[in-house]
Amino acid sequence: MTNVVTNRFSDSSQTVGFGFNAGYLFAPWNNGILVGASASVDVLNQDTSHTFPGGFFLGQTAGVIGSVNAQLGFVGTPHFLIYGEAGPAFVRLDQKLNFSGPVTSVDTWATGVNVGIGAAYEPPDWQFAGHRLAIFSQVNRIFLPSVTFDNPGSPGFIYRNQNDIVQLKFGLRLELGDGEPRAPIIHDVPPVVRPVFGFH
């Protein structure tokens, strides 16, 4: 009631989810340097909880993560692309608690910053529906500000959560350009827009 911090807890968890991404890549200088933009949506159901004696708990669920990013990449070899990305991230958070009563929850959206780095490899003969296909791996770090919750299950107290999210993604990229068997992902092509779609 006097804005005094009464307790601090630090907990972590891991989960597996899935997602989709789409974007455009440009070769403005007709060389191995690529620039573009992308957007992604990741679907999770990640619970992180702190338990107390008697089965009571205080926890949070991260549900959906969306991000919009600028990308910069480099085609190091004819079949290999490395890239980085950065942009705003939007995370759905649901705080849940049970202190001697029913489980109550309150949710909100938190806006932060996403930073990531990844690599894609395109096997020479991989195609799907006439379009070139690549595999990729990517690591993302999402920095979120602290989020305040006023949970109805604990009146008179305010809960502030600070979140750090690290994502490791594996998936497939589909280039929606022509399906000619050129080796690289967007390499030695005119400076035009090349849409890319992926799932992980």
Closest residue by Cα to residue 104 from 157, 152, 147: 152
pLDDT digits (tens, 9 = 90+) for 83-141: 999 999 999 999 999 997 899 999 999 999 999 999 999 998 898 888 889 999 999 99
In a domain, 153, yes or no: yes
125-165 pLDDT per residue, tens: 898 888 889 999 999 999 999 999 999 999 888 999 999 99
Residue 170 in domain: yes
Specify if 121 maps to a domain: yes
- Residue 71 structural domain: 20-42+66-87+112-199
Number of structural domains found in the chain: 1
Measured from the Cβ of residue 62, the count of other Cβ atoms closer than 10 Å reads 23
From first CA to last CA, the distance across the chain in angstroms is 45
Task: Please indicate, yes or no, if residue 100 is contained in any of the structural domains.
Answer: no
